[in-house]
Amino acid sequence: MISLDFLENIELFKGLDDNQLAAIQECSEKVEYQRGDRLFAEGEESNHLWIVKAGQIDLRFDRPEGRPASKEDPISFISEANLFGWSSFIPPYKYRLSGYCASRKCEVVRVEKERLSTLFEKDARIGYLVMSYVLQVIGKHFFQFQGEIAKRRGHNILSGW
């Protein structure tokens, strides 16, 4: 079981009281992975919100013919206490990238979307606070992605491509 102490120190759940954190705890489970393990695949139904407890997760595009994505070219990496999997709240509710454990061992907290959505309906304050933070994460990822595209384009221009 995920501890309340861990949850209250996650930015996503700042401002929630102990009863609200206990409700989040009921929707959550800890899962462990080893280097190279895939947490989810691009195109799969996005049924969870994820928080890294320990280790690093790489988010990558899968290659054609179902071959795994290249380890050398992650789109993004997520480290401790960071959130990913917010596509579970945005149509078409599918993962846009594949998630892989990039460190020797990864511990993640997996929060079930359906149970979390039901909790939001019962307690609008939880929904408001959590979704406000999710929007901040989406904005941050958008600007990181934008910067990465600019960097790659600049590299290609300088390399004569």
Q: Which domains does the chain have, with CATH numbers?
A: 4-158 (2.60.120.10)
Q: pLDDT per residue over 123-149, tens digit each?
A: 999 999 999 988 888 888 777 777 777
Q: pLDDT per residue over 42-96, tens digit each?
A: 999 999 999 999 999 998 887 766 555 555 555 556 666 688 888 899 899 999 8
0.85 exceeded by pTM: no
From the list 89, 100, 25, the residue with the least C-alpha distance to 61 is 100
Q: Distances from the Cα of 77 to the Cαs of 82, 124, 154, in angstroms?
A: 10, 31, 21
- The letter for the amino acid at 26 is E
